[in-house]
Structure 1
């Protein structure tokens, strides 16, 4: 018995001695390779294990490991290249390890370009990336605002918290050609048909990086990604645990003649926790509020309406001012006064009297994560956002309590993922500013009464000896007597009444309760295809549309009224396969992919992509690619049903609009306007009778040749280069693209006579002159032109001295060809030149950094249903200074955009953008992590 215990004691002693020999300590310090400054918060792990630690305030670390000699220490730190150090001795002594500042992102990995990890330098298409370092050093107040500094990115500012990114032309206030994702999940608003900026996206505390592809990507992503995609990657709770808090306070409207200075605040909280390295969760909450830029453009869009009677400028009674609503074409009438014809519009109300410029955005998300043995993980994410700000579609829209919710369940491993998500929106108390202005006017006095009173007031003024111009002003004042006045209780009461009425011919409410469910998956088959990397995936989406009688109706209800309130659907599905082959010692990468998509009401479409990347002389890479892509009509483009100011807006699907016979029997609205103007000129100046003038000018009327909507198609060619010089201190990225578009989707206004068939007899031409005998429709359809555009961009970054970095990029874009005259010429809406420059140093002295930026873009033409015009060129500067307190895991950032407060606007009808000055205080125990 004693021998047994003796043997057990000897074995246990031996095991303890072995363990004691295996478990030993490694310690040292981590320093900057340039100035030997200690790096507090650097992460040190034993490669291939979970053993690790971080450096203290003095850059020191100590860890205990059982790893077998030799092993590798992996050291990472924000703003520095990751380094590996081999430990070959059990007693290495006190280590002194140095990290090299990483000035650029050339060593990073991207996923979005090929839907699998690959070198940023060897991406087959142009790709831009914002990492944590770039986000922290940007003068922009948020990471989403910082996207504008990326090469080739154009931002359209609808609101201080609603910015629409676009690349490579054909920009708009609702960009349905640009796909925006969070962790691979589309965060589109179902009814609007585009993302609501970052209303339900991550806060700055939870963002890790953003990858952005300018240009077509639909061969891999489908889902209408023809102008570009962005993917926002959030922080994993396993890698970024703990409590983080941020407070931003800013001010705008400095020296604004329309508004005194206003405060902006944003509070963000993030908490993440890990349990036994298996289960983790994170919670984010963010609330922002402020006061928006004011849209008060009073330029007349109908300046020539009364030139035949010499009434122009402020004397024009038929004016249509951009940011005044209620004076549009549908609120205009031709009046015969003293034997002459005048175009007269109602007075309308300025946007600043109808809109609420107070901004509010409350958003939150919850993520639950569980790791299985091996590489597999399951997660559930819930996001919710509630936003109130200004938005623009065909008209300016007041979003008031728009709410979007999203549930996402995902199971993934190294070679696969499957995710299912569900998104639902509710527009809350939102309303449309144009019908609001129109219907406040009509609530005070209907159109017939008002125009009769205008005639009475005019004739009275003429009888009193006033001249024509003065009589027009007197007539308006007489007709407007008793009108609701902004700022009064009666005005506000009527406004609140109308924004609850869901009919734009009577009220202004915007009601959408739409949703969609999405399922997609992907698998890497490379282990089964030796010599080739093979990737395949699928997706399915189904929209659930709740008819509201204004934005959407069930088209089946045209023939069966019992289905008026019945929910209906719109589905799509597709899949892709991608094959990659590496040749010549992996210097040449060839990629081919093919995608098939089927959308309800349309035949299947195939999207191919081929690409090649060649690496030479170490770190120089050239790429070339071609792809075909399709953009399918959005929900609103397909099924919209809106009555507004005498205009009916219809989705372009045959099932939606065939009932009204517009496609088959209508004139172009633009030709009708030209016809009416010519008739009035002949009556006023040439002395013709009205009937004679109508017959003389009837050939100006053009019958529409537009058809029912179909998918838009793009053929895109791209070539590019990425390379580094001077030992990695100089980075160059250049690209060129050429796109050909066919069947461009857009809106055109058509006029259908109430009776008769166009061309069958002359009776319909009288309906074209007398608007009461015809109906105006705004239809979603396709351009008949073949359109091409091209462009190029160049980005350069240079590490000048120590940690000083100078960067710049320039982008050129232009329309090449429009093949024929077309009433639906696609709006390019893009400056020919955009330039960004910056200079900065994240360690100008210990724990302090700065960045200065400058952006310039050239003037360009803007076209939209709201307004057309030329957007002036502008230049704007930004600056930020930041200071870090590593011991407290805290940083402070002072920043400014539009530093010199030079006011500008980015589209016709949009808000004025002025200076924004802010300070952000962040507590984040992970703020130094890579």
Structure 2
């Protein structure tokens, strides 16, 4: 990418950060020895003496970073991983397993969670600050669940924004670049991001700020044609372009649920529908419009009341197990904060509306099915294959001829008929028939914490400064409006169309003491969380920091953490390409786990059955060949060993050392070691249930798609 950034820092009302000039002789010492962090312990403390690892991008570091944005700069912090599923969508992770929707890493803006409620994780930085408004970034790699309880078992990032009291004026930034250079899929494309910030202190007690960002570009074209099913017809010697069950990575509509086993010429062949490339069913133009406004009021010298509104509208490509076009997707957030040395309280509401978004795989599948159902297409394919083989064509030629015949009148990409049908499918909220993603969800959160030790010192100056005591509590409720496809209300005593709610309440106590003339600092934290559908869980954290001198600091910490299932993991209810995706809570999937078989074992079983039938050259009837093959290979079937969701659990041990070396602390040495142990890890599995209560007949039912219920759990 060729990037040109134009930074216009001074207009008639110029950006006026209130800070003293830092001389070259003192800057390193100031940064190394006096830098403070908040995220590690929820109170201000020395960066060097933090009880756990903290990575920080200060205001100075952000000014000096060569990265295109502060979010890009995060990738260069120690121990931090950033993946990029889309040009305007990055996912942060630290110290743990991740994917393109990282629900194990919490992302906060001024202490406020900016996740999309139904997804359970943030969509990059679309609800976060712009480069003009960012003040600092703090990241806690590893579990932060003992203090935050926000499913932060992989880590937590907190983005601090600039105060309108200390940073007034008008700022504008324009970024322009070219990407897709020498890209045959698209040709060179323009990328543009325009940001504006205006802040003003109206009085010493009242100030406001507004921000706006408009981003436009053309996303990366997903056109990976690597074969996912190269051995689909290995027993008949058909590979590569001759394989009638081809499934390229970025071609949709030819997955396992779009295949059938056809008896042709005395052998069984696995045949897939033709499908469409991703670029046929998606517009790669992306756009993000985000905006925020904040009103700050200071009733006292050290107390501040802040109301913040954030909003975003985006068009983007989003990746989970399937890929989606997020279109007219909207997020909004209202937040109210009270900040003081003793009390901090926050309440916020996040609303999500997926707009006109749709599933790319379902769109491709149902484009094929809308012109001809599977049964009709398979019948036409069989008829054409038999005719071609009788005319003397080879097996591979007959398959090509059969596909051409079965695809007659198939919708062609780019035609008016194709575009009209795709638009219709984008508005059908059932992925067995259409592709729409229609979710409306809210997240309501309230929390508060009290620095008890600070309060006691205000009222009683004899309270020892070496003792600290912090207490806090929070409550969160997710509210889903059932759409009849993606989410339903599973509670039997409630109207299935009534809102689905999913809540959690928690609290923590943290106490600490400084000993040996402040050289030894001991801290203990205990958190309790009660989540709907789960019993109370306790998370302890114990930390020790030993500082023989101000420059040398050794730390040891042990903590545990729980993560409760996201809405998507717990409550999904999606008809997804002939496979039913259902949440892993018992209220959603009762009876499924106990009676299901792993799809991987069913695939192996059916492949073995097909191989046995194709290898059997005896003159016995085809039905008898099939029955023998099923009987001989039924031991390959494996019952699902998994069960209903439990809360994920992690135990983490960390050792570290920070030192400010050389005169003036010009060299910072930071070493850490950690060991994580996980239990009850949450993942997905495909498992199918035979439509019979007789276990002796399971193999027969699992050999045919029509006699099994297919689930993604």
Q: 1:407 aligns with which of 320, 331, 334?
A: 334
Match for residue 624 of structure 1? 556
Matched, 1:683 2:610: no
For residues 97-176 of structure 1, the aligned pairs below 5 Å read 100=27, 105=32, 107-176=34-103
Q: 1:747 aligns with which of 666, 669, 684?
A: 684
Aligned equivalents of 1:605, 1:634: Cα separation in 2: 16
Q: 1:77 aligns with which of 21, 28, 32?
A: 21
For residues 436-835 of structure 1, the aligned pairs below 5 Å read 436-527=363-454, 528=456, 530=464, 531-556=466-491, 563-658=495-590, 661-687=591-617, 689-727=625-663, 728-757=665-694, 759=695, 762-779=696-713
**8 Å Cα contact 1:385-1:403 kept in structure 2:** yes
Deviation of 1:303 after TM superposition, in Å, equals 1.1
Match for residue 8 of structure 1? none
**8 Å Cα contact 1:103-1:729 kept in structure 2:** no
Deviation of 1:75 after TM superposition, in Å, equals 6.4
Deviation of 1:469 after TM superposition, in Å, equals 1.6
Residue deviations 1:710-759, cap 9 Å, x none? 101000111111112222222221111111100001111110112224x3
Residue deviations 1:684-734, cap 9 Å, x none? 124471100000001111112322111010001111111122222222211
**8 Å Cα contact 2:126-2:290 kept in structure 1:** yes
Residue deviations 1:93-114, cap 9 Å, x none? xxxxx75466965531110001
**8 Å Cα contact 1:515-1:543 kept in structure 2:** yes
Q: 1:705 to 1:107 in 2, by over 3 A?
A: same
Deviation of 1:617 after TM superposition, in Å, equals 4.2
Residue deviations 1:240-264, cap 9 Å, x none? 0111111111110011111111111
Aligned equivalents of 1:349, 1:139: Cα separation in 2: 40
Deviation of 1:136 after TM superposition, in Å, equals 2.8
After TM superposition, the score normalised by the length of structure 2 is: 0.94
Unpaired runs of 5+ residues, structure 2, are 1-8, 457-462, 619-624
Match for residue 254 of structure 1? 181
Match for residue 277 of structure 2? 350
Aligned equivalents of 1:320, 1:104: Cα separation in 2: 54
Aligned equivalents of 1:169, 1:485: Cα separation in 2: 44
**8 Å Cα contact 1:164-1:197 kept in structure 2:** yes
Q: 1:492 to 1:227 in 2, by over 3 A?
A: same
**8 Å Cα contact 2:488-2:500 kept in structure 1:** no
Aligned equivalents of 1:467, 1:721: Cα separation in 2: 70
2:683 alignment partner, SS class: strand
Deviation of 1:276 after TM superposition, in Å, equals 2.3
1:171 alignment partner, SS class: coil
Aligned equivalents of 2:28, 2:538: Cα separation in 1: 45
Deviation of 1:54 after TM superposition, in Å, equals 8.6
Q: 1:281 to 1:664 in 2, by over 3 A?
A: same
Matched, 1:292 2:236: no
Residue deviations 1:109-146, cap 9 Å, x none? 11000100011111111110112232233232111111
Residue deviations 1:48-74, cap 9 Å, x none? xxxxx999xxxxxxxxxxxxxxxxxx9
Aligned equivalents of 2:77, 2:233: Cα separation in 1: 46
Aligned equivalents of 1:105, 1:770: Cα separation in 2: 67
Match for residue 422 of structure 1? 349
For residues 22-33 of structure 1, the aligned pairs below 5 Å read none
Q: 1:382 aligns with which of 300, 309, 316?
A: 309
**8 Å Cα contact 1:504-1:642 kept in structure 2:** yes
Aligned equivalents of 1:283, 1:259: Cα separation in 2: 36
Aligned equivalents of 1:479, 1:153: Cα separation in 2: 51
Unpaired runs of 5+ residues, structure 1, are 1-39, 42-52, 56-73, 82-97, 780-930
Aligned equivalents of 1:645, 1:685: Cα separation in 2: 32
**8 Å Cα contact 2:32-2:668 kept in structure 1:** no
2:684 alignment partner, SS class: strand
**8 Å Cα contact 2:245-2:259 kept in structure 1:** yes
1:257 alignment partner, SS class: coil
1:636 alignment partner, SS class: helix
Residue deviations 1:339-380, cap 9 Å, x none? 111111111111111111111000111101111124211111
Aligned equivalents of 2:587, 2:552: Cα separation in 1: 53
Match for residue 153 of structure 2? 226
After TM superposition, the score normalised by the length of structure 1 is: 0.72
Aligned equivalents of 1:218, 1:638: Cα separation in 2: 20
**8 Å Cα contact 2:96-2:142 kept in structure 1:** no
Residue deviations 1:826-860, cap 9 Å, x none? xxxxxxxxxxxxxxxxxxxxxxxxxxxxxxxxxxx
- The count of aligned residue pairs is 686
**8 Å Cα contact 1:164-1:173 kept in structure 2:** yes
Deviation of 1:301 after TM superposition, in Å, equals 1.1
